């Protein structure tokens, strides 16, 4: 068995393709690269008409970056034939099995790049390992994400959660819509205004989803989201995310602490989080300090009791009972005369329906927060994303449960498994 035959087998080539030449060539840095030249059998039946006449019109000289062989960068070369179509008479480029049309990489190189990214390696690091510019790896990534994303079925969406994230800390926001039933990202849109909701609705319509069949949408208390959802998903029940509501209540609790801090600096020094954390997450000393302070400082004590009492609301199963409890709580908050708590009670009453709808549907943005935590981890590894397209496609890669359908050629070579996120 000669070297050409060995490389033919390694590349998984089948008729009419064959290895014609193998050479080592010095590159611009002075090191050696492996160049494999491919040809084809001109007598192959697909290259001839019924009379045996050649259909080959001319050739395009092409080169593809392949996976390294040992320590050598490897490149495939081929004069790819263009043939005359038997039916239309048009001149067509013959598709080669080792690369997709228009790509400068072999399928094995692209699949290995995707595999490294799936193993949570930042794209820039993949580029360094494979010896390619990061932007070229991003091009590979975008292609396979777009192909897989197009195949996702979004026709039966009935319940959604919508929230925003950012590509860099505090900058370049992206609005994400998640299918509650499948726990996967449906669509991601740059921005966080009401127009993002319109774009999400337009996308679902384009995928054949009946908007009137979406029966519930969970969001935070953003006026833009409220406006967008009310307009685009008017048949859906609007639910405000319980964690965002609790976040507002915690903010009110902390504002009471900050007001008291002005006159009780010694007592409240270093005590910011003991009033916000769950008791189970506090040390024995922190629990003791908290109990002492809520007894010593009346405003802190009243605000803390209101905060703890409000948590009972989320456990109600009957909506009427929940509404009665919430009216009672809001009255107590207003009677406390603690302005942060009064402000929170007013927020509750102005968002009454969306908050009380939780007791019937019991849905929250917990799913989307879980996906967002993975997005934030990827963002930290990559040190942020400057390019919005890169960031949105990474969101799909992480959260959309995409399935990548690689050509049969990859399976025949048997160097890489089929995989999905």
Count of alpha carbons within 13 angstroms of residue 335, beta-carbon side: 8
Range name among 41-55, 266-280, 327-341 with the lowest pLDDT average: 41-55
Unique residue bearing structure tokens 């004590």: 301
Is residue 409 situated within a structural domain? no
Domain-ending residue, one of 361, 380, 410: 361
Q: What is the bridge-based pairing of β-strands 171-179 and 159-168?
A: antiparallel
Pairing of strands 56-69, 17-26: unpaired
- Mean pLDDT in residue range 390-397: 95
Q: What pLDDT is attached to residue 281?
A: 85
Per-residue tokens: 270? 């270093």
Q: Where are the beta strands (DSSP E) in 70-158?
A: 72-84, 91-93
Are 296 and 338 members of one domain? yes
Confirm whether 293 is domain-assigned. yes
Whether 418 maps to a domain, the answer reads: no
- Band the pLDDT of 172: cuts 50, 70, 90: confident
Q: Which residue did the predictor score with more confidence, 30 or 350? A: 350
Structure tokens at 73: 């960068």
78 and 23 both lie in a single domain? yes
Same domain, 237 and 384: yes
Most confident by average pLDDT, 138-142, 168-172, 280-284, 291-295: 138-142
| Contact call for residues 386 and 124 (beta carbons, < 8 A) | no
Of the pLDDT bands very low, low, confident and very high (cuts 50, 70, 90), residue 7 is confident
Q: Provide the pLDDT for residue 50.
A: 66
Q: What is the mean pLDDT of residues 122-139?
A: 94
Q: Does residue 412 fall inside a structural domain?
A: no
Specify if 371 maps to a domain: yes
Say how far apart CA 159 and CA 178 lie, in whole Å.
8
pLDDT of residue 51: 65
**Of 118, 29, 109, 116, nearest to 69 (Cα)?**
109
The answer to whether residues 250 and 139 belong to one domain is: no
Q: Are 344 and 333 a contacting pair, CB within 8 Å?
A: yes
CB 289 within 8 A of CB 271: yes
Domain end: 361, 386, 416, which one? 361
For the chain, the average pLDDT equals 90
> Quick one: 230 and 294 in the same domain?
no
Residue 226's pLDDT is 97
Please check whether residues 11 and 130 belong to one and the same domain.
Answer: yes
State in Å, rounded, how far the first CA of the chain is from the last one.
40
Q: Is residue 321 part of a domain?
A: yes
* Cross-strand partners of 84: 91
| pTM given for the model | 0.86
The answer to whether residues 210 and 270 belong to one domain is no
- In this predicted structure, what is the pLDDT of residue 411? 56
DSSP letter (8 states) at residue 2: -
Rounded Cα–Cα distance for residues 268 and 5 (Å): 78
Tally of domains in the chain: 3
Pairing of strands 72-84, 32-40: parallel
275 lies in the same domain as 338: yes
pLDDT band at 405 (very low <50, low <70, confident <90, very high): confident
Kindly state whether residues 19 and 125 are assigned to the same domain: yes
* Residue 202: Cβ-neighbour burial (10 angstroms; 0-12, 13-18, 19+): middle
Residues 171, 187: Cα–Cα separation, whole Å: 19
Contacts of 168 (CB under 8 A, 6+ apart): 379, 384, 385, 386
Answer yes or no: do 379 and 394 share one domain.
yes
**What is the per-residue pLDDT across 10-43, written as a single tens digit (0 to 9) for each?**
788 888 899 999 999 998 888 899 999 999 887 7
Q: Which residue has the tokens 């000289």?
A: 61
| Claim to verify: residue 214 and residue 253 sit in the same structural domain | no
What mean pLDDT do residues 81-87 have?
Answer: 80
Residue 237 belongs to some domain of the structure: yes
Whether 383 is covered by a domain: the verdict is yes
Per-residue pLDDT, averaged over 395-402, amounts to 95
- Here the tokens at position 143 are 């292609």
Say what the pLDDT of residue 418 is: 38
For residue 268, give every residue at least 6 positions away whose Cβ sits within 8 Å of its Cβ, in sequence order, or none: 257, 260, 261, 293, 297, 300
The residue length of the chain stands at 421
Phi and psi of 32, rounded to 5°? -95, 140
Are 111 and 248 within one domain? no
The whole domain housing 338 covers 242-361
- Give the CA count within 13 Å in the CB-facing half-sphere of 31: 7
Least confident piece of the model among 10-14, 115-119, 344-348: 10-14
């Amino acid at each position: 068995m000669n070297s050409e035959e060995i490389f033919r087998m390694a590349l998984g080539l089948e008729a009419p393709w064959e290895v014609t030449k193998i050479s080592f060539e010095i590159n611009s840095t002075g090191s050696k690269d492996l160049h494999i030249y491919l040809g084809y059998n001109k007598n192959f039946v697909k290259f001839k008409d019924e009379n045996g006449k050649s259909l080959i019109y001319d050739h395009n000289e092409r080169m593809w970056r392949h996976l390294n062989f040992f320590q050598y960068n490897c490149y495939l070369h081929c004069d790819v034939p263009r043939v005359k179509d038997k039916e239309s008479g048009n001149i067509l480029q013959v598709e080669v099995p080792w690369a997709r049309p228009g790509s400068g990489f072999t399928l094995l190189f692209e699949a290995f790049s995707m595999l490294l990214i799936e193993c949570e390696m930042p794209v820039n690091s993949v580029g360094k390992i494979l010896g390619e510019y990061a932007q070229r790896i991003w091009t590979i990534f975008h292609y396979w994400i777009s192909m897989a994303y197009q195949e996702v079925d979004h026709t039966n969406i009935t319940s959604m959660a919508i929230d925003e994230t950012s590509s860099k800390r505090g900058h370049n926001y992206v609005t994400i819509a998640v299918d509650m039933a499948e726990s996967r990202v449906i669509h991601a849109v740059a921005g966080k205004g009401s127009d993002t909701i319109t774009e999400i609705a337009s996308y679902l319509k384009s995928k054949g989803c009946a908007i009137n069949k979406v029966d519930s949408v969970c969001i935070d208390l953003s006026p833009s989201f409220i406006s967008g959802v009310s307009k685009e998903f008017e048949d859906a029940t609007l639910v405000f995310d319980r964690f965002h509501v609790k976040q507002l209540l915690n903010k009110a609790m902390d504002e009471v602490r900050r007001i008291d801090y002005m006159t009780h600096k010694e007592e409240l020094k270093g005590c910011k989080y003991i009033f916000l954390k769950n008791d189970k997450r506090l040390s024995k000393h922190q629990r003791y300090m908290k109990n002492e302070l809520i007894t010593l400082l009346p405003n802190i004590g009243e605000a803390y009791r209101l905060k703890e009492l409000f948590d009972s609301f989320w456990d109600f199963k009957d909506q009427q009972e929940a509404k009665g409890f919430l009216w009672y709580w809001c009255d107590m908050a207003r009677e406390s005369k603690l302005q942060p708590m009064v402000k929170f009670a007013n927020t509750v009453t102005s968002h009454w329906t969306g908050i009380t709808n939780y007791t019937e549907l019991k849905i929250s943005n917990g799913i989307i927060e879980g996906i967002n935590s993975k997005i934030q981890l990827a963002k930290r590894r990559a040190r942020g994303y400057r390019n919005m397209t890169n960031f949105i496609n990474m969101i799909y890669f992480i959260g959309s449960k995409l399935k990548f359908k690689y050509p049969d050629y990859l399976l025949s070579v048997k160097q890489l498994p089929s995989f999905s996120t």
